[in-house]
Amino acid sequence: MREGGKLGQDGQWLVITESVYIENKGWEHQCGETLEAVVLTPPILDGPEKITVDKIPYCPICEVAPIVKDGQIQRSMN
């Protein structure tokens, strides 16, 4: 399994770039599973553009749910 909460080259969530949006269902990953999301309260700042993040999408089949601590996504392989 891959670590969740990764950003792709275009600054989108990597898992979103691998998914398609289906009306009335949500984002479906390439494996066929509907994406889930870690909801953050309060929102955190992340990424090079310091975008405000309040939800982190991930695939419950292919990815480990992202863990957020002290306003940052915890990375196990830095």
Q: By the 8 A CB rule, do 33 and 59 touch?
A: yes
Choose the binding region for Zn ion from 6-14, 40-48, 55-63, 64-72 (rule: CB under 5 A).
55-63
Residue 20 CB, nearest approach to Zn ion (Å): 12
Interface of this chain with Zn ion, residues 4 to 43, rule: CB under 5 A: 29, 31, 33
b/e per residue, 5-41, with b = 16+ CB within 10 A? bebeeeeebbbbebbeeeeeeebbbeeeeebbbbebe
Residue 6 CB, nearest approach to Zn ion (Å): 13
Contacting positions for Zn ion (CB under 5 A) = 29, 31, 33, 59, 61-62
